[in-house]
Amino acid sequence: MSTAQRFLRNPQAMASSALLALIVAAVLLAPVLASHLPGAAELGKAFAGPEPGHPLGFDSAGRDVWSRLLHGGGNSLGGALIALVVALGLGVPSGLVAGYYGKWFDSLANWASNFVMALPAMIVLLASRAILGPTVPVLMVVLGVLVAPSFFRLVRGIVANVRRELYVDAARVSGLRDRRIIARHVLIVVRAPIIIQVALVAGIAIGLQAGLEFLGIGSGDAPTWGAMLNEAFQNLQRNPLLMLWPGLALGLTSAALVLLASALRDVLEDRGAPVPNPRAARRVRVDPPTTPDTAGERASLLSVRDLAVSYGHGATAVEVVRGVDLDVAEGEVVGLVGQSGSGKSQTAFSVLGILPEGGRVTRGSVLVAGTEVVGLPEKEYRALRGGVIAYVPQEPMSNLDPAFTVGSQLVEPIRVRLGSSRKAATERALDLLRQVDITDPRRVFDSHPHEISGGMAQRVLIAGAMSCDPHLLIADEPTTALDVTVQAEVLDLLRRLQAERGLGVLLVTHNLGVVADLCDRVAVMEAGRVVETGDVEQVLKRPRHPYTRTLVEAVLDDVPARPAWVAPRIAEVPA
Amino acid sequence: MLGFVLRRLAAGVFLLFAISFVSFVLLSVPHLDVARQLVGQAATQDVVDAKNAALGLDQPVLARYASWLGDAVTGDLGTSWFTSENVLTAIGNRLPVTLSLMLGVTLVTAVLAFSLGVWAGVRRGVVDRFVQVLGVVGYALPGFLVTLVIVLVFAVQLRWFPAIGYVPLTSSVPGWLSTVVLPILSLSVASVAGVSQQVRGSVIDVLRQDYVRTLRARGLPPRRVLFRHVLRNASAPALTVLGMQFVGLLGGAVLVEQIFGLPGIGSMTVTYTTRGDTPIIMGLVMTTVVCVVVINLAVDVLIGWLNPKARTA
Amino acid sequence: MRIRRFPTVGTAGAVAVALVLTGCSGAGGGAAGQSDPTLDIATMTIPQSLDPVTAVGGALPFFQATYDSLLKREPDGAYSPMLATSWTWDPSRTKLSLALRDDVKFDDGSAFDASAVKANLERFKASTGANAKWFSGLKQVEVVDATHVVLHLDAPDPAYPHYLSDAAGLMANPAAFADAEKLKTTPDGTGPYELDAAQTVVGTKWVYRRAENYWGERLPFDGVTMTVFDNETAIVNGLKTGQVDTAVIQDANQQSSLDGAVGLTTTPVDFDFQGILLFDRAGKVTPELADVRVRQALNHAIDRKTMLEQIRRGKGASTSQIFGTDTSAYQEDLDSYYAHDPEKAKRLLAEAGHADGFELKMPRMSSIVTEAIASSLRSDLADVGITLTWVDVDQGDALRRIFSDREFSGFVMNLGQSADDWLVIKDLVLPGTFNLFGYTDDTVKALTPKIQAAPAGDAVEDVRALNRHLVENAWFVPFYRMSYALVTDGGVTARPQSGMAVPSLYNYQSVG
């Protein structure tokens, strides 16, 4: 779904932007909508109620409230716009350059940003007002400078992160010039956070501007919502209603901006329920499975029958796994292959009972060591995890909690699950690290995740999976994110552990080479269904289903040295 | 870690110098006729000139800054031009008032915003909507309106708390508490609204992280995953916002201070800056910068402790 | 005057329930009769320092606590003995002889005597204090003996008793003059109270306690606390909750919010007037103003009645004269001399040759010229063809541009109305302070020396003639005298002080 479509379907985004558009239109059309000048006063009518031509009555000086509200909105919103433009103009380019090139400019810009943030804003605003004169635009320019660091820091942080990312390196290698890299890759990533920040800062700028007016440090003569509030506040006892209109205008505008910001975040960062490629699942027509159901005999370790997984509710519900059958016997290694979006990871997650938010098993049966886990209470399910089924994830780095040392992450499940003492658990963890061929277990034990390499991290994760002596290992693309040399080592490790411990393994992968290397049997998934199951030998050499055939041919034609790059989700970029 | 702290403190001192210089030069732009304000509109030009000389305003800016700096490094920030208070004493008298508010608001915000934010982020659905609406309302309500309503209801009508004034913590703890409760309440509304949204967002982000799924797959109880892992990782961005709120209150509590008649830094800033009382303003600038440097450092150390990766970044 | 004890958080709930159940929500915090011997005064005026040379108008009570003045000014404006037992002018009215008390001592034991008076008066004259100009005509202070001094003046100045009952009459210990910095925060006088430095927070709260062995009349309170607030909302809330015993409330809306507050007594104080101080009568900045008809047109264009009704909520009285009701120059019929008459104003402008109008620029300090005043003046003047342009200025900026740069022809001001005729003349009529362009005319030149040289009370006819002349020639555009509210709670009564916005410290009495 494109961003625009998501935006159009998000009721909060639509409602808040409609409200904003309405307010802006009313303000722009002020000369048409209000028949009186905002400054025209008739003191005799001060505080008088509404009358024809004056729908909101009169203020303390006998001026038309409606007209002042509309014209004042122009000054308030215009002021906020000035502040925003200044903040964006200063913050974004400097953040881009500082984050991308680093070096002296980064140090300098960082220092300047800290300098501005340490300035006492109130004093700066008061002093600049005294020096530069009490006009809204001047004050708003100063305000813009004061909030520019918020953009600078945001952009700089993201860009510095992105620069370290694989794809910019790749883009570099393929000879793109810096300017194009910034334009093509970097700007796209920072776009969403900037838009969100703009909505937030706009709200803050309007609020601050009103606050300044309220303290009497404002525009002088020009009407603004803040000045109206101030004036209403002075006359609160006399006519509290005067407070309502500017308060409402201000409140609605900032509320709309906050709501828009939060909706934009959902839309741009796709924070709604993550639907793994639902379009593919719905549209692709799939040939019926060529392997007949083996519904009769069910394997003792893991047996899945007619499993269906859906996201969403009612008419918008999308089925991403549709009637999968799968068996893993003790000591057996079963490969689950298919392209990304074919539902293989969803199948693995539903066996573990850790489907992402919004996903649920809608149908079928999953037996884990003889226990039916579909509909099993969470507490009993938990007893199976770690002890009976264990999980080795795809991305080693993102699957370790950055806040804790490797050791404490290994010790924690051992203590919680096995009730070991701290000492015993530590011993066991060190032992596990040794078992996964880590030469200096103590050092790795004391390291934080960011201090070890990807391959090391994957070994740690495998050690973690082994920590409570499981019978079934579910490995979700365990080597995809690793360098080729490390891939082989990790596969060797898995093979050795499997053999030593007699593990049953469900290996989720898109790499047929890995399957050939490791697996006894293989199941091929396409668009949420298993289209072919069988011995590795048979399926790889004599694929029966057309889809399997395409997969096998693709591997033979062009053995990729490295898996195709998968774009990281924006959500992983710290906002 | 010590090296990091020392480096940051050194940068802070440099910042202090830079900002003091810029502020001093800004303030010396002859926009406010301080001497004329002091001697009154009726005074003759001779009297005004004499006053200017007495204040040292007939000297060049750089010479004045040098002399101010010379005194300042020895801890002498001078005396106010308008009230003859010693600057350090004056700020020392008012800082506890504002600090009381800042700490109170931060405490209330930390507790309430984290609870609400985590609640919304974990439970989602109706709870989430409720917290979001609360956040938007709290954010959109004009602060002074909240303050006025609170004064009228709890002080003037119900008489649960005094409407104005401040009792130092050192002279009476219950007295102190009774004078700061309402101001803290008034300031907390917007603060809780803002920070709870931030916490909610971070909690939702962290809950989506792969390692949370992996921890669950290891069979750890959800409560343990939430309180040990999710909360710790979600705290960093929320702490940054909390730190910024804290700093913002230093000058941003003006309105609340004025309505409650609290002799704090905020109302001091507005009064003395509009008059152009340079010694006091410089004192306030220095106080603010020191607070900002210390608070930012504290937040960074705390974040570094929560998230070791940040230490190297 | 009630015990300022608030329920702590624990008991708050119970109190609230009781209040709700009995339907009592009035200002009944403490029962009357529980006497707290401390007087809590709230004010918005901060004294520049406690050095008497810096004393000005509304800050005077801060000084009256620790200093006595040579003369005492009674609430009605009459002078009575204080440190000086008598004062007499010589026939030329340039020599003022004072007889002093002989039983007053400073805290260090040194006696208050004639040489102390001489030192104080000379120091006041030489200072940069706002009122130092009062003594510009003081030639010499002659010490006759320990209890007698004679003030020698260049020229007669009928306002001397006023000066000596005000800032210039505050007598400090000459031994303290050596350390001027110390004197700014540590008063050293003979007054009824002493500053409690431990409780005082300069800039916020000044606490005084009764001085032992005070020579004079014993004031009813054991202690006085003066707390400074920067807005009247806080003061009004403090009055309502009994945290403040007394304050003067200026803002009309804040005054109204006190209407019906149980237990509070309100006494009107008429001191400040508001209007345009028009000093460009020779037309140096705005040439049109040189014509008396133009100035009269300005006066006729202003709708004083509506302004008073809407802006001051009727709290005050519209007027066309600058002299206050306590002066002998005041004439009631001059209050309504200029009626709101746009037609006449237009006619006058046409006669002066400005039928097409002209532009008048005035500075706007938002603290004085509220939005309502600014826009109503603009539309009133626009109705007769005069374009009023407001130039936004800050307080400090305003003083420079008005008084140093002389950029404007006039400005809207709230000005206290002294009860002393000569003081008004000196400030507003003679070339100087508020007559910055030094404009004068033959009538003024003829009348003022007569008033200056006449014994008090003898010049009534002349000052009245002068007042009428100023009004008829439209030297000013006064709007109205403003009524402030002197608010006291059940434990205190207070009398307004003639010629001052706030009561003297001697004007408060304890009740019950």
Residues of C in contact with B37 (CB under 8 A): 395-396, 399
pLDDT digits (tens, 9 = 90+) for C174-187: 999 998 888 988 99
Measured on CA atoms in the order C262, C263, C269, C272, is the torsion positive or negative?
negative
Which pLDDT does position C276 carry in this prediction?
93
Whole-angstrom Cα distance, residue A211 to residue B251?
12
Query: pLDDT category, C3, cuts 50, 70, 90?
Result: very low
**Nearest residue to A570 via CA among B307, B208, B311:** B208
Which pLDDT does position C195 carry in this prediction?
94
Whole-angstrom Cα distance, residue B23 to residue B16?
10
Kindly state the average pLDDT of the residues A374-400. Answer: 82
Kindly state the average pLDDT of the residues A511-536. Answer: 86
**Nearest residue to B264 via CA among B275, B276, B249:** B249
Verify whether the Cβ–Cβ distance B214 to A258 is below 8 Å. Answer: no
Residues of C in contact with B177 (CB under 8 A): 8-9
Helix (H, G, I), strand (E, B) or coil at B263: coil
Query: pLDDT category, C227, cuts 50, 70, 90?
Result: very high
Measured on CA atoms in the order A278, A279, A283, A286, is the torsion positive or negative?
negative
**Nearest residue to B93 via CA among B261, B256, B264:** B264
Query: pLDDT category, A89, cuts 50, 70, 90?
Result: very high
**B288–A contact, CB cutoff 8 A:** yes
Verify whether the Cβ–Cβ distance C254 to A231 is below 8 Å. Answer: no
Lowest mean pLDDT among A129-138, A435-444, B165-174, C220-229: A129-138
Which pLDDT does position A137 carry in this prediction?
81
**Nearest residue to A130 via CA among C274, B64, B61, B281:** B281
Contact C336, C318 (CB under 8 A): yes
Which pLDDT does position A571 carry in this prediction?
34
Whole-angstrom Cα distance, residue A216 to residue A78?
19
Kindly state the average pLDDT of the residues A335-343. Answer: 83
- Residue A85 pLDDT more than 80? yes
Lowest mean pLDDT among A177-191, A373-387, B194-208, C452-466: A177-191
Higher pLDDT, C261 or C63: C63
From the CA of A41, how many Å to the nearest CA of chain C?
A: 6
Query: pLDDT category, C10, cuts 50, 70, 90?
Result: very low
Which pLDDT does position C26 carry in this prediction?
33
Higher pLDDT, A314 or C91: C91
Which pLDDT does position B199 carry in this prediction?
85
B–C: how many Cβ contacts below 8 A?
A: 170
Query: pLDDT category, B161, cuts 50, 70, 90?
Result: confident
Residues of C in contact with A62 (CB under 8 A): 310, 372, 375-376
Which residues have CB under 8 Å from C501's CB, separation 6+? C57, C58, C248, C250, C269, C271, C272, C416, C484
**C184–A contact, CB cutoff 8 A:** no
**C303–A contact, CB cutoff 8 A:** yes
From the CA of B121, how many Å to the nearest CA of chain C?
A: 33
What is B25-47 written as a DSSP string? Answer: HHHHSTTS-HHHHHH-TTS-HHH
Which residues have CB under 8 Å from C396's CB, separation 6+? A130, B31, B32, B33, B34, B36, B37, B274, B275, B276
Which pLDDT does position A315 carry in this prediction?
67
Distance of CA A571 to the CA centre of its chain: 2
Instruction: Indicate whether this complex's ipTM tops 0.90.
Output: no
Cα distances from B101 to residues A123, B176, B187, B203, B291, in angstroms, run 20, 11, 8, 28, 14
Verify whether the Cβ–Cβ distance A221 to C396 is below 8 Å. Answer: no
Which pLDDT does position B196 carry in this prediction?
86
Contact C96, C87 (CB under 8 A): yes
Nearest residue, CB atoms, B38 vs list C29, C48, C404: C48
Which pLDDT does position C106 carry in this prediction?
92
Query: pLDDT category, A404, cuts 50, 70, 90?
Result: confident
DSSP 8-state secondary structure symbol assigned to residue A182: I
Which pLDDT does position C4 carry in this prediction?
35
Query: pLDDT category, C32, cuts 50, 70, 90?
Result: very low
| Pairing mode of beta strands C79-81, C71-73 | antiparallel
Verify whether the Cβ–Cβ distance B218 to A115 is below 8 Å. Answer: no
Query: pLDDT category, A552, cuts 50, 70, 90?
Result: confident
Residues of C in contact with B253 (CB under 8 A): none
Verify whether the Cβ–Cβ distance A236 to C396 is below 8 Å. Answer: no
Contact A140, A75 (CB under 8 A): no
Which pLDDT does position C153 carry in this prediction?
94
Query: pLDDT category, B31, cuts 50, 70, 90?
Result: low
User: pTM score > 0.90 for this model?
Assistant: no
Kindly state the average pLDDT of the residues C210-216. Answer: 89
Tell me the two tokens of residue A467: 């920590």
Tell me the two tokens of residue B248: 């913002």
Q: How far apart are the first and last CA of chain A?
A: 22
- Residue C354 pLDDT more than 50? yes
Nearest residue, CB atoms, A120 vs list B27, B201, B288: B288
Nearest residue, CB atoms, A229 vs list B142, B211, B250: B142
What is C217-240 written as a DSSP string? Answer: PPPS-SEEEEEE-S-HHHHHHHHH
Verify whether the Cβ–Cβ distance A220 to C364 is below 8 Å. Answer: yes
The one-letter code for the residue type at C231 is N
Whole-angstrom Cα distance, residue A58 to residue A44?
10
**Nearest residue to C326 via CA among C498, C459, C471:** C498
| Site from B27, B83, B156, B265 to mutate, C interface, most C CB atoms within 10 angstroms | B83
- Residue C508 pLDDT more than 60? yes
Which pLDDT does position B111 carry in this prediction?
92
Which residues have CB under 8 Å from B35's CB, separation 6+? B48, B49, B51, B52, B55, B57
- Residue A283 pLDDT more than 70? no
pLDDT digits (tens, 9 = 90+) for B35-63: 877 777 667 777 778 888 888 888 888 88
Residues of A in contact with B213 (CB under 8 A): 349, 354, 356, 393, 399
> What backbone phi and psi angles, to 5 degrees, belong to A534?
170, -175
From the CA of B139, how many Å to the nearest CA of chain C?
A: 24
Residue of chain C whose alpha carbon sits nearest to that of A227? C371
The one-letter code for the residue type at C284 is K
- Residue A276 pLDDT more than 80? no
A–B: how many Cβ contacts below 8 A?
A: 192
Angle formed by the axes of helices A166-173 and A136-164, nearest 10°: 80
HSE-up of residue C91 (Cα within 13 Å, Cβ side)? 0
pLDDT digits (tens, 9 = 90+) for B165-177: 888 888 888 888 8
The one-letter code for the residue type at A269 is E
Whole-angstrom Cα distance, residue C172 to residue C117?
9
Which pLDDT does position C291 carry in this prediction?
92
Lowest mean pLDDT among A266-270, A358-362, C428-432: A266-270
> Which string of b and e fits C41-76 if b means at least 16 CB within 10 Å?
bbbbbbbbbbbbbbbbbbbbbbbbbbbbbbbbbebe
Which pLDDT does position A559 carry in this prediction?
46
Angle formed by the axes of helices A65-101 and A187-214, nearest 10°: 140
- Residue A575 pLDDT more than 80? no
Lowest mean pLDDT among B157-161, C146-150, C339-343: B157-161
| Pairing mode of beta strands C359-364, C387-392 | parallel
Contact C201, B263 (CB under 8 A): yes
Measured on CA atoms in the order A239, A243, A244, A249, is the torsion positive or negative?
positive
User: What H or E segment, with its residue span, contains residue B127?
Assistant: helix B125-140
Tell me the two tokens of residue B29: 């732009």
Query: pLDDT category, A275, cuts 50, 70, 90?
Result: very low
Higher pLDDT, C348 or A483: C348
Nearest residue, CB atoms, A448 vs list B141, B269, B308: B308
Kindly state the average pLDDT of the residues C39-62. Answer: 90
- Residue A414 pLDDT more than 60? yes
Cα distances from B28 to residues A124, A131, A345, B285, in angstroms, run 13, 10, 68, 14
**C374–A contact, CB cutoff 8 A:** yes
Which residues have CB under 8 Å from A556's CB, separation 6+? none
Tell me the two tokens of residue C75: 């609430």
Verify whether the Cβ–Cβ distance C130 to B39 is below 8 Å. Answer: yes
**Locus of tokens 């199951």:** A533
- Residue A55 pLDDT more than 60? yes
Lowest mean pLDDT among A66-70, A276-280, C162-166: A276-280
Q: For all residues of chain A together, what is the average pLDDT?
A: 79
Which pLDDT does position A563 carry in this prediction?
44
**Nearest residue to A476 via CA among A390, A406, A385:** A390
Kindly state the average pLDDT of the residues A476-486. Answer: 79
**B83–C contact, CB cutoff 8 A:** yes
- Residue C342 pLDDT more than 70? yes
Residue of chain B whose alpha carbon sits nearest to that of C237? B163
- Residue C248 pLDDT more than 90? yes
- Residue A431 pLDDT more than 70? yes
Whole-angstrom Cα distance, residue A32 to residue A28?
9
**C311–A contact, CB cutoff 8 A:** yes
Which residue intervals of C339-459 are DSSP H helices? Answer: 342-351, 371-383, 395-399, 421-424, 442-453
Cβ atoms within 10 A of the Cβ of A492, count?
13
Verify whether the Cβ–Cβ distance A60 to C367 is below 8 Å. Answer: no
User: What H or E segment, with its residue span, contains residue A19?
Assistant: helix A11-28
Q: For all residues of chain C together, what is the average pLDDT?
A: 86
Contact A468, A413 (CB under 8 A): yes
pLDDT digits (tens, 9 = 90+) for A198-232: 877 887 788 777 777 777 666 666 788 888 888 88
Which pLDDT does position C466 carry in this prediction?
93
Helix (H, G, I), strand (E, B) or coil at A358: coil
| Site from C375, C377, C387 to mutate, A interface, most A CB atoms within 10 angstroms | C375
Kindly state the average pLDDT of the residues C176-199. Answer: 91
Kindly state the average pLDDT of the residues B172-196. Answer: 87
Contact C329, C269 (CB under 8 A): no
From the CA of B176, how many Å to the nearest CA of chain A?
A: 27
Contact A345, A517 (CB under 8 A): no
Kindly state the average pLDDT of the residues A398-413. Answer: 85
Higher pLDDT, A525 or A178: A525
- Residue A132 pLDDT more than 90? no
Label residue C344 exposed, middle or buried (CB < 10 Å: 0-12, 13-18, 19+).
middle
Helix (H, G, I), strand (E, B) or coil at C411: strand
pLDDT digits (tens, 9 = 90+) for B109-122: 989 988 998 888 88
| Site from A36, A43, A139 to mutate, C interface, most C CB atoms within 10 angstroms | A43
Verify whether the Cβ–Cβ distance B175 to C6 is below 8 Å. Answer: yes
